[in-house]
Structures are given as C-alpha cells and as structure tokens.
Amino acid sequence: MNVGLIVFTALIVAPFAWGIAIFNQLVTLKNNAKKSWSNIDILLKQRNSELPKLIDTCKQHMQYEQETLVRVIAARQNAEAALQTGDLQALGNAEHKLENSLINLFSVAEDYPELKASDAFLRLQTRITSLEESISDRREFYNESAAIMNTRREMFPDNIVANLFSFEAFELMEFKLDELENISVAEQFQI
C-alpha cells in the first residue's frame, strides 16, 4: 500500500471527521438551550393561567383595591405579550413589573383577614410562589445553557463550523440593574 495515499486520505478524512464532531456538539448545545427556554415558557404560561384565578379570588374580598388588581392584570397582559414576541429584554422588563405587582398584591392582601383565610387564595398564592421559584431556577439553567453555546460558537476552531452552518447566539435573560438593588419595603405598600 502506498504511504502517500494513506497520509493524503488521513489529511482529507481527519478534518472532515473533526468538523462532523464539532457540528454534532454544537447541535446538542443548541438543542439544550432551546429545551431550557421551552421549560421557562411552559412555567410562564402555567403561572399566567393561574393569575386570573387569583384575581377572581381577590375580587371577592378586596372591593376597595381595584387599582392593585388592575395593575396585576395589566402586568400579566404585558408579560403574555412579551412572551409571544420572544423578545427576552421586553420579557424581562414585563416579568419584573409583574413580580412587583404580585408582591404588592400579596402585601395588600395582608389587610384582608377573610382573604388570607380563604383556601382558594392560599392555594393560589402557594402555587404562584412555587411557579415563580421554578421560573427563577429554570432561568438560571437557561442562561447557563445559552452561555455554554455562545462560548463554544465563539471559540476557535468551533467558530469555523458555527459560522459555516449559521449557528446563532442565544440571548441571555439578564437581570435589570434595579433587580439587583435592595427592595424598598415602603414602596411596596404604596398604592
């Protein structure tokens, strides 16, 4: 057998095999990031479907707090609209406003003993709080998956394959600057 032919074949086959391996790894990372976003999407939809039930329960007991309920409804609608667009920055802003309106709602609910004693309210409050915690956990997992994918598509030699096959960067779900600041409890009680 001709050694030159073997070397020539190895020089052709090795880069091709290397490219296939990198391509497959990038596909796996891309799908992991998409899956982690899908998990967030599901939780956001579940939480958004629970909010009207919470509002209806609160309406029965909080006759004088319509403005608080309207804020929650408006924040939910904005979050739902941002979710539909897929714009992570708009979604982050809308989710932040929704979170603040829920904090305000739960704070105001403290003034209504019959509401606090309502089994429906307590179940919904627990469910929504649990969903919020799950969303936070999934957001962290999504950011990790997206960061790994983004790093790999920028690293040499992976960037060659990533650019050749148009692997897109994933946008991170970043905290807004005011989310990192201490929360003013006094502001939460203003209506």
> Average pLDDT in the 48-60 region?
85
pLDDT at 187 over 80: no
- Across the chain, mean pLDDT equals 85
Confidence of residue 20 (pLDDT cuts 50, 70, 90): very high
Question: What local confidence, expressed as pLDDT, does residue 186 receive?
Answer: 45
Confidence of residue 64 (pLDDT cuts 50, 70, 90): low
Which residues 6+ apart lie within 8 Å of 65 measured at CB? 58, 108, 191
User: pLDDT tens, 156-185?
Assistant: 999 999 999 999 999 988 755 454 444 444
At position 162, the amino acid (one-letter code) is: A
Question: What local confidence, expressed as pLDDT, does residue 175 receive?
Answer: 56
| CATH number of the structural domain 3-188 | 1.20.1440.20
CA distances from 146 to 22, 150, 175 (A): 17, 6, 15
Distance CA 113, CA 131 (A): 24
Distance CA 70, CA 72 (A): 5
> Average pLDDT in the 90-117 region?
85
Peptide bond into 157 cis (omega under 30): yes
Q: Is the pTM of this model over 0.85?
A: no
- Helices 66-85 and 88-109 pack at an angle, to 10 degrees, of 160
pLDDT at 139 over 60: yes
